A and B are shown apart, each in its own frame.
Chain A
């Protein structure tokens, strides 16, 4: 073989490197790091590469994702990357999948088919999922990430190293509903309002936003304020139908403007209590703003919407004279808009979005790379900021805040991908002493910092559990059969969960006779068996399918059966997710909830109550959301978060 394999041979040794063509690699993500990594793997001679990504290519990927060209925009990343990199080394078997790593078919059995997994992901949720699957199957994982000039690579292996969840990760910032809906005090509040609320109300699904308000009321937020917000929500119906009307004279943009920036604000103002200790908002007058005659807090509508208090930002600088003006177009959206300009942008973007609805699009969701939605959010957020006396932001800044954009460049990805391959080789060779957590940092004299890996966190709710799996037919096997089979006749008392749902506990076994499917415990999910006394480690049972040619019973138990170790300390273990609640420091930021629980699927038949009252109370005290009935749904937007 040619010199391309020297690298692998030198690290892996002759025997392992001979096996490289048979080594099965799962590469999750074909973005910035993923493209680099795929190239490196192909060059190094890894013979079996499965590449998975659910995204399609966007123009803004091309500054770093070098396996894609302009002509590939909108195509599948996984497919295109494989097409570009494949021909380079015909000996490599590339298996691209355009899909979501959380799909049910990617269960424990599937993960066990790989020798190593490499994460090249950009979101926390998928990272945590792959981490759990790798901990469950003991497949080594290399985790990575970049942000601008900074990057990180972390090799992970169950019981050898800490896992991705051993150290809790910062959760997205959330805001109380009323701060967003009636008393914003920062630009971000107005941006979240425009993006997560207004855009949805006008162009999203026709849904009753009442649930969010019910919840807020339960949380004890101001009742009168909630009542006003309810009225406000109902009035959206008229605007929604005007936006969808073919009648051009309806002037829907103006109607929307007057509703949200005038009458809604007037309604809020009528609650004088609210404005006793805060500055009241000012309703905006469409025609006066449009003409430029509107005077807001002493400032004319044609001046900048703020006193230039948009944060000084080096991005805001215009190109120096004499330099090529080639990138000049990048500048236009970096200046603050006047009130009048924001109105014009609001009207034009509303019209563009309405035209799309009329042309057949059913719902329009925020996408930072969709200019119509970005323009709309920019204008609406700035108009709201103006009404509330909050500093406005440029379109450029709003894109970053609303789209949660992290700078990304080719160089950092190249460095990180090189480091991933190196750590992957050490993991494959099981030379655990040479594993390192590596940070790419801002330090010209030492760009890389490599630190010894840490052992697992003994109280980690992910990697300290004992994992096993069953092959079964969820339509035929019952909960009781699986749990009993796994416990192997042991008489110890347990509670059983799926994610955060309680399925049984020592005093409540109503569900034991039900099939897994009727309990929505299907392929790819885990049953969590928690020892009631907290003396034995939690067992997580991955649900896999029966083998294709299987003809026996509906359940194949693992062999050997799991043997969870006894715990040293006695603590009541929570379900397998990290703590749910953060102490609320004050009234400013109160809500921080777990992602909403999935709605149970039922077939319309009456379902027995899934939860005993005592258990329910206990869980709610832990900050969990419990469903009252199986068909009740938890709205994702009970929590407004910047994602």
Chain B
């Protein structure tokens, strides 16, 4: 870049949006400041996804408005509340997003939208006073205007019908079904497939110590530890030490890395022996990281499992970008050295700046080369539609990709084998609590009163004889559901509002791994757990 070209770039464009008024205090863009604390969690990509999302919430219950509050604050694009009810005195005392007694008799959707929209003026809110049942019967396409449909304590018949409709096409919105009764609750996310590039996994990609790329190998071989001065010697990055030590080891072990425990200890001893002074930290690091020398860099099993995903076997040019990239990744790993593309991120290590930057340049160059090779495995037109930024992100996160396959609402309860096998069933009350909710829905469908006895009988009917539920836990779960089948308690609503919104954000941003199956919550005994995951 020439000096002239770069001088033309003014300073405002490289900091936040600092105001250009000379002499006046620079003010950054208000939105960036407002969202600063969350941008550090899901970055601009996540924020952009949130801002383009459209959420439908059915019914302005205390739980529903709590969920919405936690979505409006971080800045979703749009929400609609579909609710034909008017505010009752009970609502007014229960729901913070109604204006107390002043709201009584007014339309619940209007009041809630008005108060929720005040939280963030960049979010668009809309009240829809129609009856959800009528909309579902007359114009189900209405629901397709949204990305996510959230239903709390909705009539079971309508939940089933809406869920079925939304399930009928993979491209339809995802649905969050939330049920709460007093101190227990559960929620379920209905989706077909959910792929995640940025899972924010804590696993780190391989540094390829065991399979050094030619430049790294050559660099390590060129280091003559003997001839270095003491300062240089104490600043050789551990990566270089390990590559060099491993190469040495292999020469005397038939080309094999350390395998047995004894050999591994011996290898560490060798590294210790390479020190000149006992306090050379870089060698200490090398010893601590020695496992990298004998851990073979392969394609992680979680990633090779993805290569068997149905999204790949049925790949067409119109498949989602994620699978186009996954297919390229598979091809990439089929060639030598049978690894994922190298990432250029080098961890911090004891080294002087020069050696570190040199090493980093090697990794960067190799990573660029492998990325170019990866890109060449994607067809040109697909590559253009996907764009470089997504490809970069994909390569960088290749070691932590996730594909989740969801199931249809209600299908778990009809799958006796799955019910019987579910790991949540045996020793805890999770399955019992989930089934108590299912029994409540089922009794409501049959217009029966959910007494303890009726609920227990219904649980047994759903579960069949193969599912053993601990009596005490079943009693407790059924008892709470029978006691307060529709109670929307403020504190529970607040808590559940946080939990459901949290998972909704993970789904919308496609970052972090959301729950699978039913998440069951008991706030009396204080536990949460997954059922049918």
Interface residues of A (CB under 8 A from B): 2-4, 6-7, 10, 36, 39-40, 43-44, 59-60, 62-64, 66, 69-70, 87-89, 148-149, 276-279, 291-293, 302-303, 307-309, 311-312, 314-315, 317-335, 337-338, 340-341, 344-345, 348, 352, 355-356, 369, 371-372, 375, 378, 388-391, 395, 399-400, 405-419, 421-422, 434, 436, 438, 442, 444-448, 450, 586
B44-A7 in contact (CB<8A): no
Task: Tell me whether A375 and B18 are in contact (CB under 8 A).
Answer: yes
Nearest CB on A from B300, distance (A): 19
Contact B36 A60, beta carbon cutoff 8 Å:
yes
A-B pairs, top 4 by smallest CB distance, nearest first, are: A418-B495, A292-B3, A414-B498, A2-B93
Q: Indicate if the CB atoms of A340 and B526 lie closer than 8 Å.
A: no
Cα distance, A448 to B528, chains bound together (Å): 6
Q: How far is the CA of A39 from the CA of B94 in the complex (A)?
A: 11
Inter-subunit contact B96/A327 (CB<8 Å): no
For A419, the closest partner residue in chain B by CB is: B495
| Known contacts A329-B31, A340-B6: A418-B18 contact under CB 8 Å | no
B74 at the interface (CB under 8 A from A): yes
B387 CB-CB contact with A under 8 Å: yes
The smallest C-beta distance from A252 to any residue of chain B, in angstroms, reads 15
Q: Is B476 an interface residue (CB 8 A)?
A: no
| 9 A–B pairs (Cβ distance < 8 Å), ordered by A | A3-B90, A6-B487, A44-B490, A278-B231, A323-B49, A326-B52, A375-B18, A410-B498, A586-B279
* Interface hits, B380-416 → A, CB 8 Å: 387, 389-390, 392-393, 396
In Å, the complex CA distance between A334 and B40 comes to 11
CA distance A399 to B33 in the complex (A): 12
**B119 at the A interface (CB under 8 A):** yes
The answer to whether B487 touches A43, judged by C-beta atoms less than 8 angstroms apart, is: no
The answer to whether A59 and B33 touch across the interface, beta carbons within 8 angstroms, is yes
Q: How far is the CA of A520 from the CA of B513 in the complex (A)?
A: 55
Q: A467 to B274, alpha carbons, bound, how many Å? A: 58
- A418 to B47 Cα, complex, angstroms: 26
Q: In the complex where A314-B43, A446-B530 touch, is A59 in contact with B34 (Cβ < 8 A)?
A: yes
What's the nearest-Cβ distance from chain A to residue B245, in Å? Answer: 23
Please report the C-alpha to C-alpha distance between residue A550 and residue B418 in the assembled complex, in whole angstroms. 75
CB proximity to A under 8 Å, residues B311-352: 343-346, 348, 352
* Distance of B350 from chain A, by nearest CB (Å): 10
**Contact A330-B47, Cβ < 8 Å, known A66-B73, A307-B361, A419-B495:** yes
Task: Say whether B501 faces chain A, with CB atoms less than 8 Å apart.
Answer: yes
- Shortest distance in angstroms between A330's beta carbon and chain B's nearest beta carbon? 5
**B470 on the A face (CB < 8 A):** no
Cβ < 8 Å to A, chain B residues 6-53: 6-7, 9, 11, 13-18, 23, 25-41, 43-45, 47-49, 51-52
Contact B94 A415 (CB under 8 A): no
A371 to B37, Cβ gap below 8 A?
A: no
Q: Within 8 Å CB of A414, what residues of B?
A: 66, 69-70, 494-495, 497-498, 501
Q: Do A369 and B527 touch across chains, with their CB atoms under 8 A apart? A: no
Verify if B89 is at the interface (C-beta below 8 Å from A).
yes
Q: What are the residues of chain A within 8 A of B183 when measuring CB–CB?
A: 7, 10
Give min CB distance, B309 to chain A, whole Å: 19
Quick one: given A60-B33, A436-B526, A445-B529, are A315 and B489 in contact (CB under 8 Å)? no
Write the chain A residue with the least CB distance to B388: A321
Residues of the A chain whose Cβ atoms lie less than 8 Å from the Cβ of B39: 315, 327, 330
Which residue of B43, B231, B356 is within 8 Å of A277 (Cβ)?
Answer: B231
Residues on B with beta carbons closer than 8 Å to the beta carbon of A421: 491, 494
A148 contact set on B, CB distance < 8 A: 40-41
Q: Is the CB of A438 within 8 A of B526?
A: yes
Choose from A59, A291, A338, A371 the contact partner of B18 (Cβ within 8 Å).
A371
State whether B390 touches A320 (Cβ < 8 A). Answer: yes
- Checking B41, B361, B491 against A418 with a beta-carbon cut-off of 8 angstroms, the contacting residue is B491
Checking B16, B281, B484 against A329 with a beta-carbon cut-off of 8 angstroms, the contacting residue is B16
Q: From B521, which residue of chain A is reached at the shortest CB distance?
A: A448
Contacts of B77 in A (CB 8 A): 324
Task: Give, as a whole number of angstroms, the nearest-CB distance from A515 to chain B.
Answer: 48
- Chain B residues with Cβ below 8 Å from A278 are 231, 352
Interchain CB contact under 8 A, A345 and B15: yes
Q: How far is the CB of B41 from chain A (nearest CB, A)?
A: 4
- Asked if residues B100 and A88 are in contact (CB atoms below 8 Å), the reply is yes
Which A residues lie within 8 Å of B156 (CB)?
none
Q: Given known contacts A293-B3, A356-B25, A418-B492, is B389 in contact with A63 (CB within 8 Å)?
A: no
The residue of chain B having its C-beta at the shortest distance from the C-beta of A403 within the complex is B36
The smallest beta-carbon distance between B406 and chain A, in angstroms, is 13
Contacting pair A277 B25 (CB below 8 A): no
Does A329 lie within 8 Å of B198, measured CB to CB? no
Are A43 and B89 touching (Cβ within 8 A)? no
Q: How far is the CB of B111 from chain A (nearest CB, A)?
A: 13
For residue B523, which residues in chain A have a CB less than 8 angstroms away from its CB? 418, 422
The answer to the question of B354 belonging to the interface, with a C-beta cut-off of 8 Å to chain A, is: yes
Q: A86–B90 Cα gap in the complex (Å)?
A: 19
Are A323 and B90 within 8 A (Cβ)? Answer: no
Are A345 and B69 closer than 8 Å at their CB atoms?
no
> What chain A residues lie within 8 Å of B51 (beta carbons)?
324, 326-327
14 more CB-based (< 8 A) A-B contacts, given A345-B11, A400-B40, A411-B498: A2-B94, A3-B487, A3-B489, A277-B231, A292-B7, A309-B360, A317-B389, A318-B389, A327-B47, A375-B26, A389-B354, A410-B69, A417-B494, A438-B526
Residues of chain A contacted by B73 (CB below 8 angstroms):
62-64, 66, 410
Q: Are A326 and B15 in contact (CB under 8 A)?
A: no
| CB of B216 to closest CB in A, whole Å | 17
Alpha-carbon distance A554/B390, docked complex (angstroms): 74
Cα(A448)–Cα(B519), bound, Å: 11
A322 touches B33 (CB 8 A): no
- Tell me the bound Cα distance from A238 to B526 in angstroms: 64
Q: B272 at the A/B interface (Cβ < 8 Å)?
A: no
Count chain B CB atoms within 10 A of each CB in A278, A410, A415 and give the residue with the most: A410
Residues of B within 8 A of A311 (CB): 345, 348
Given contacts A307-B361, A327-B51, contact A322 B118 (CB under 8 A): no
User: In chain B, residues 424-468, which have Cβ atoms closer than 8 Å to a Cβ of chain A?
Assistant: none
Q: Which residue of B lies closest to A315 (CB)?
A: B43
Chain B positions within 8 Å of A417 at CB level: 494-495, 498
Which A residues are in CB contact (< 8 Å) with B396?
Answer: 312
Indicate if the CB atoms of A303 and B1 lie closer than 8 Å: yes
Decide if B228 is an interface residue (CB 8 Å cutoff). no
Q: Are A405 and B40 in contact (CB under 8 A)?
A: yes
What chain B residues lie within 8 Å of A408 (beta carbons)?
37-38
Complex CA distance for A44 and B494, rounded to whole angstroms: 11
| Known pairs A345-B15, A372-B26; A445 contacts B44 (CB<8 A) | no
> In the docked arrangement, what's the CA distance between A87 and B96, Å?
11
Residue B144, interface by CB 8 Å: no
Contact B502 A446 (CB under 8 A): no
Chain A residues with CB under 8 Å of B37's CB are: 60, 63-64, 405-409
Considering the chains assembled together, what is the distance between the CA atoms of A410 and B92 in angstroms?
23
Task: A54 to B407: give the CA distance in the assembly, Å.
Answer: 49
For A318, A415, A418, A419, which residue has the most chain B Cβ atoms within 10 angstroms? A418
> Closest CB-CB distance, B292 to chain A, in whole Å?
19
A4 to B28: give the CA distance in the assembly, Å. 42
Judging by beta carbons under 8 Å apart, are A7 and B513 in contact? no
